[in-house]
Structure 1
Amino acid sequence: MFVKVAERSRVAEVRRLAVQSSLAQGFGEQDAGRSAIVATELATNLIKHANGGEIVIGSFDDADGQGLELLAVDKGPGIADLHKALTDGHSTSGTPGTGLGAIRRNANAFAVISWVGRGTAVLARLKPDGQAATKANYLISGLCAPYPGETECGDGWAVSTLPATIGILMADGSGHGPEAHKAARRSIEIFRERAGWTVEPLAQAIDRALGATRGAAIAVAEIDPGGGRVNFVGIGNISAALLDQGLVRRMVSNNGTAGHLAPRIRAFQYPFRGPPTVILHSDGLSARWDLSEYPGLIAAHPSLIAAVLYRDFRRGRDDASIVVVRRHSACPPAS
C-alpha cells in the first residue's frame, strides 16, 4: 500500500492504515498502538523535513520475524548527521526532536539511510509481542505498485525458501490491469506449486502455463549457498542483478514473452564468494541505476535498497515491482 504524504491531513490517514494493517496481521491493542506511533512519526517527518514523500505499508516474513513493515521515502535535503538525528532532543525544525528516536524505540527492526541533497529512506518493522524466534537465514523485501489509476498490479513476485536453496520469481504481465494481473498470478501459482524445481524446467513450466493468458516477462533465480552460485533464467524484460562483496553483476535474460514466444529458455550460473543479495525488478523501474552513486546502500537492509530504487527509478507509466533477497548473514544488524 503506497500513500503519498504532501500535507498534514495525510498523517492521520497513514496512521489509520498502519493500525488497520497491524490488526489484520494479529497485533494486539498495545502493539497496534506502537504501529500508530511509528506511522505518525514517519509521516510527520516527511512533512516537517522533506516537504512530503511516500509511505509504504506492507508486511514481512523473514529473519526479522513476521509483522508490519513501514517504509518512508523522500527526496528532501537529507540528514547531515544521522547520529545526532537519532538522539532525542535533536531537531532542525523547532520541535521536541523525538521523531527518529521514537521510531527506533518502538520498532523491532529499524534502519535508515540518507544522503545530503538526495533524500532519505527509513525502515521500521514491528511484530507482535511474544512472537517466537525465527530460524530463517534470509531477508526479503518486495514492492509492487500498480499502473496509475489501476487497483490491481500487473506485476508480481514470490519467494520460496527450502533448506538448501532460496527461489525468487518476478513476473510482469503484458500490458497492465486485470489481464496482466492474471498472468502474473498464474506465474506465481506455478512457481509455488513447483518449489524446489531447478530454474530451467521451472521457467519452462511457467511458459507452458501462460499460454492461456496474455503472457508475461518472467525471471526465476535460485540462490544456492552450498554450490556458491545463483542459477538464473529470464524471459523478457526483467532486470536482474547479483550483489556480492560490494560488487554488482547484472544477470542476462533471454528474449521473448513467456506463454507466447520464448524460443530459447536457458539457465545461467553466477558464482558468488560472500553472502549474496539478488535484485529482480520489472521494467516499470529503469535499469539505469548504479549503486555506487548511493554510498552505503549496497550493504543496507534489502528493504532500503528496494525503497530507494523504487523512489528514484520508477517510470510512472507502468506497473512497477522490485524484490530484493539477501542471505541474513550479509545484512548489518538492525538497530
Structure 2
Amino acid sequence: MRDQILCDIRHDADVGELRRRATAFCRAAGFDEESLGRVAIVCTELGSNIVRHAGSGGQVILRQIAEAAIPGIEIVALDHGTGMSNVERSLQDGYSTAGTCGNGLGAVQRLSDLFDIDARPCRGTAVICRIWSRPRPNQAVSPFATGAFRLPASNETVCGDIWVIDQGNGRLCSLLCDGLGHGARALEAAETAAAAFLQARDEPVVSRLERIHEALRPTRGGAVALIEIDPDRNRLIHVGLGNIAVRYRHRGQWHHLLSRQGIAGHILADLRPCETAFEAGDLLIMHSDGLTSRWDPAATPDLFERHPLLTAAVLCRDYRRGADDVAVLVIRRSEPCSNTF
C-alpha cells in the first residue's frame, strides 16, 4: 500500500528485512539519522520478540503519518503467541523468559513517542508505537483520542478500505469507506470518496454523503459512513449508506447505529441522520465488513480502555475475515491522556 508496509515475521532473516524496509521507508519521509536509529532498534526488538515467542510467526505493519507537517511512523506488531502473564514486569530491563538480556520491550518503550501493549496470556501480543522524525510543536489539546488500522484482503497488495478524520471548528468528523470488491479499483473508489469528503468540509454530514455519492458515480462505488461529534453539545450525528458497522459506548452501555441500504455512487437511499449523546469517556468504533460483527466488548473489556490504535489493531487481528479488506476506526471522547504504560 502507498503509505503502509506489511512485513511477515517468522525467522531471524525476516527481522533484518523489516529493519531495512523500515529505515528506507522513513529515510524517504525525511527522518534524520538519530530518528532512523530509533526506528531500526524498535523494529529489530519487535521482530525479534515475534521470532522468539510466537511459534506461528506474526506481522509488523508500518504506516507513514504526519502531524503539523512533521513526518512520523506508526509501528504495529501483532502475533498469536503465548502473550504475557505480567506485562509491566516484561517492560523492565533485564527481564526475559527466553534467555536473552531482556532489553527488548523496555527499549521499545523508551525509544517510542507513543507506546502501548496488549498481551493477554494465550491470546498473543500486540504492540503499537509512534516515532516522530523530530519534536512536534505544542498544539491545542484535542478532546478526542483516535486510532485506526487496516489490512488488505489475502493475496492483495492494496486495501480498498479508507478512513479520514477531519477536525475543525471544535468538531470532529470522520469517514469510513469500503470500496466495493478488492484491489486497485476498490482503492480508487475509496480514495475518491475521501477526496469528496474533504472538499465538502463545511457542509452537514448528509450533504457530505450526497457529495460523495455523486463523486463515486464513475467508480465501482462503496459503502460509506460519516460521523460528526460536537463536544460542546455532547452530541454525535451519524449517517451511513451500505455495510459499515458503527457501535458506540455511552455511559458504559454499548449501542449500534444503523446505516441505510444502498451503494454510494449507484444506489442512494433516503438518508436519515441519527443524533445521540456522546460525552467524555464515551467510545465509538466504526469498521468495514472485513471484520466479523460477532466481536463482544464484554469478552475483553480492558482492551477498550487502551489507546484507540491498539484497540483497532487487536480487533483486526482477532476478528477479521481473511478474504476481505478490513478497516477499523476508534474514537474516544476524553480528557487528554496518553493511554500508555
- Give the TM-score of the pair, scaled to structure 1: 0.94
- After superposition, the CA RMSD in angstroms is 1.9
**Alignment partners' CA distance in 1, 2:299 and 2:293:** 14
Match for residue 310 of structure 2? 304
Match for residue 166 of structure 1? 172
**Alignment partners' CA distance in 1, 2:284 and 2:82:** 30
Asked if the contact 2:231/2:279 (under 8 Å) is kept, the reply is no
Does 1:282 find its partner at 2:267? no
**Alignment partners' CA distance in 1, 2:339 and 2:286:** 24
Match for residue 84 of structure 2? 79
Match for residue 217 of structure 1? 223
1:133–1:83 Cα change, 3 Å: same
Match for residue 29 of structure 1? 33
**Alignment partners' CA distance in 2, 1:93 and 1:291:** 33
Does 1:41 find its partner at 2:26? no
Report the CA distance between 1:40 and its aligned residue: 0.5
**Alignment partners' CA distance in 2, 1:174 and 1:237:** 11
DSSP 3-state at the match of 2:190 = helix
Q: Residues 98-145 of structure 1: CA distance to partner in whole angstroms, max 9, x if unpaired? A: 111010111111111221111111111111233322325133322232
Q: Which one is further off, 141-150 or 72-81?
A: 141-150
DSSP 3-state at the match of 2:217 = helix
**Alignment partners' CA distance in 2, 1:247 and 1:142:** 22
Report the CA distance between 1:39 and its aligned residue: 0.5
Asked if the contact 1:243/1:277 (under 8 Å) is kept, the reply is yes
> What amino acid is the match of 1:16?
R
Q: Which one is further off, 21-30 or 222-231?
A: 21-30
Asked if the contact 1:280/1:324 (under 8 Å) is kept, the reply is yes
Asked if the contact 2:189/2:219 (under 8 Å) is kept, the reply is yes
Q: Which one is further off, 161-170 or 237-246?
A: 237-246
1:133–1:206 Cα change, 3 Å: same
Q: Which one is further off, 289-298 or 143-152?
A: 143-152
Report the CA distance between 1:157 and its aligned residue: 1.3
DSSP 3-state at the match of 2:232 = coil
> What amino acid is the match of 1:224?
D
- Give the TM-score of the pair, scaled to structure 2: 0.92
Asked if the contact 2:151/2:326 (under 8 Å) is kept, the reply is yes
1:130–1:298 Cα change, 3 Å: closer
**Alignment partners' CA distance in 2, 1:24 and 1:54:** 22
> What amino acid is the match of 2:49?
N
Q: Residues 39-90 of structure 1: CA distance to partner in whole angstroms, max 9, x if unpaired? A: 0001101111122211111134569x85211111111111101121011111
Match for residue 93 of structure 1? 98
Q: 2:247 aligns with which of 241, 245, 255?
A: 241
For residues 61-210 of structure 1, the aligned pairs below 5 Å read 61=66, 67-137=72-142, 138-210=144-216
**Alignment partners' CA distance in 2, 1:331 and 1:292:** 23
Q: Which one is further off, 30-39 or 266-275?
A: 266-275
1:185–1:297 Cα change, 3 Å: same
Asked if the contact 1:300/1:331 (under 8 Å) is kept, the reply is no
**Alignment partners' CA distance in 2, 1:304 and 1:4:** 19
Report the CA distance between 1:92 and its aligned residue: 0.5
Q: Indicate the percent of aligned positions where both proteins have the same amino acid.
A: 37
**Alignment partners' CA distance in 2, 1:246 and 1:69:** 30
> What amino acid is the match of 2:219?
T
Aligned length: 334
Structure 1 residue runs without a partner (length 5+): none
**Alignment partners' CA distance in 2, 1:297 and 1:66:** 28
> What amino acid is the match of 1:167?
C
**Alignment partners' CA distance in 2, 1:167 and 1:61:** 18
Q: 2:256 aligns with which of 236, 250, 255?
A: 250
Asked if the contact 2:250/2:277 (under 8 Å) is kept, the reply is no
> What amino acid is the match of 2:53?
H
